[in-house]
Amino acid sequence: MESQTHKEGSNTILTLSGEIDFHVSPKVREAVLAGLDEGQNLLVDLSGVSYIDSSGIASLVEGFQHAKGKSLSFALLGVRDGVMSVLKLTRLDKVFPMFDSVEAATAANK
Amino acid sequence: MTQATSGNAVIEVENLVAGYGDRTVLNGITLSVDSGEIRVIMGGSGSGKTTLLRSLLGLKEIAAGSIHLLGKKFHYGYPKHMSEVRRQMGVAFQGGALFGSMTVGENIRLPLREHTRLDENTMRIMTRIKLELVNLAGFEDLMPSELSGGMIKRAALARAIILDPKLLFFDEPSAGLDPITSAELDELILRVRDATKTTIVVVTHELESALKIADRITVLGKGEVLMTGTVEEIRNSDDSRIQDMLNRRPREEDQDPEEYLRRLTTMQH
């Protein structure tokens, strides 16, 4: 699992790739919380993530909650089918804002 | 009837022989379950289905034959190896098997504590996600003694799936449940499989549930596989033992009058 954070305008983008399971989800959790420490809206790019388990989902949920506490927005980008079905099963597909691109996410925040 | 493996088999049992002491219960069981399949194992009392389940779960040693889980041979009695395999398996036992001294939430978190080093926040959210899935949201601080039978089953299911296992086993999931709760549990089993593609093995004698949820059914009789087939194939079987099961006909005892007399009159020394 690879993770990389960079800033793009008013957004911080955390790009994750590979498979997220309970071995690596602590790193995801750290990266999400650290990403929010930058003080900007956080976009988590999951276009490179083929599989996520519930520990990974839980890390995203915690991140979302943390963002709300800091009055920052939190959204997912590029959610693939495999990840979407897990989000649907956990009914989080209605909770996380999801977009196909940074532009779409930014437009939604205006 | 044996099924050819499609190369996709996640459970492979070959010529399994198992029993208790001198008593052989399983006489050479061969079956395989494909990834994402819901396989129901049925059979009357004494057919060996519980022994089969226990062998698959590593709860008992086998006398002969082999078990492969997720492509790897399963060796009973090697703690580290068994622990690794068990991390990918979830089991919902018949009575729930929740620890009475812990809350529902703590029970569900146990496999997380045993197999992972996840943060408390993460574990709490995961627990609640699973409770929501089994319709037990808000019940995490209750003790098992405060739950109804159906709720205990659902809590046990939540614990069984907390690690998102690749293999999920149910031992008599409907036992003790009213028909509506049983039907709800069936729906839940189907939902979990459809969303997570987990392979599910259900040992049950509840015909209605079996016919509703099974992709394939393996019928055991007296320690042997009578048949493995789709619901349709099972229904159309001309094996009288299978038809008896489908029609809830009691077994006919083979009555050998001389044997019977001997059993009644032999003196023990």
Could you report the per-residue pLDDT of A40-79, keeping only the tens digit for each? 999 999 999 999 999 999 999 999 999 999 999 999 999 9
Element (H, E) at B56: helix B49-56
Angle (nearest 5°) at CA B187 between B186 and B191: 120
A36 within a domain of the structure (yes/no): yes
B117 touches chain A (CB under 8 A): yes
Phi (first) and psi of residue A63, to 5 degrees: -60, -45
Instruction: Calculate how close chain B gets to A90, using CA atoms only, in Å.
Output: 6
> Is B164's CB within 8 Å of A53's CB?
yes
A23 within a domain of the structure (yes/no): yes
Taking chain B (269 residues) in runs of 10, the rounded mean pLDDT of each run is 59 96 95 97 90 94 94 88 88 89 96 93 96 92 94 92 94 87 90 86 92 96 94 92 82 77 83
Phi (first) and psi of residue B41, to 5 degrees: -110, 120
Q: How many domains does chain A have?
A: 1
Phi (first) and psi of residue B116, to 5 degrees: -135, 170
- What's A18's domain CATH number? 3.30.750.24
Which residue is closest to B126 within chain A, CA to CA?
Answer: A58
At B186 the pLDDT is 92
Select the residue from B87, B159, B164 to test the A interface by mutation, using most A Cβ atoms within 10 A: B164
At A30 the pLDDT is 96
At B2 the pLDDT is 38
At B74 the pLDDT is 92
Which residues constitute the domain of residue A7? 2-102
ipTM for the whole predicted complex goes beyond 0.90: yes
- Edge to edge, the sheet with strand A98-99 lists A2-8, A11-20, A41-52, A74-77, A98-99
Domain ranges of chain B: 6-88+166-252, 98-164
Phi (first) and psi of residue A66, to 5 degrees: -60, -40
Cβ of B233: how many Cβ atoms within 10 Å? 14
- Give this prediction's pTM: 0.84
Q: Which fold has domain B6-88+166-252?
A: Rossmann fold (3.40.50)
A109 within a domain of the structure (yes/no): no
Reference B219, options B208, B209, B231, B24; nearest CA is B231
B88 touches chain A (CB under 8 A): no
Question: Which residues of chain B does A85 touch, with a Cβ-Cβ cutoff of 8 Å?
Answer: 195-196
Reference B165, options B124, B129, B115, B128; nearest CA is B115
State the DSSP string of B125-154.
HHHHHHHHHTT-TT-TTS-GGGS-HHHHHH
Question: Which residues of chain B does A91 touch, with a Cβ-Cβ cutoff of 8 Å?
Answer: 132
Token code pair at residue B18? 């198992």
Instruction: Calculate how close chain A gets to B195, using CA atoms only, in Å.
Output: 6
- In whole angstroms, what separates CA B199 from the centre of its chain? 11
pLDDT tens digits for range B17-70: 999 999 999 999 999 999 999 999 999 888 999 999 999 999 999 999 999 999
Non-local (6+) Cβ contacts of B201 within 8 A are B11, B33, B39, B40, B41, B53, B56, B167, B168, B169, B170
> Is B122's CB within 8 Å of A86's CB?
no
Instruction: Calculate how close chain A gets to B246, using CA atoms only, in Å.
Output: 34
A89 within a domain of the structure (yes/no): yes
HSE-CB of A92 using CA atoms within 13 angstroms: 27
- Contact by Cβ (8 Å): B139, B131: yes
At B80 the pLDDT is 87
Question: Which residues of chain B does A55 touch, with a Cβ-Cβ cutoff of 8 Å?
Answer: 116, 118, 122, 126
Nearest to B125 among A22, A62, A88 (CB): A62
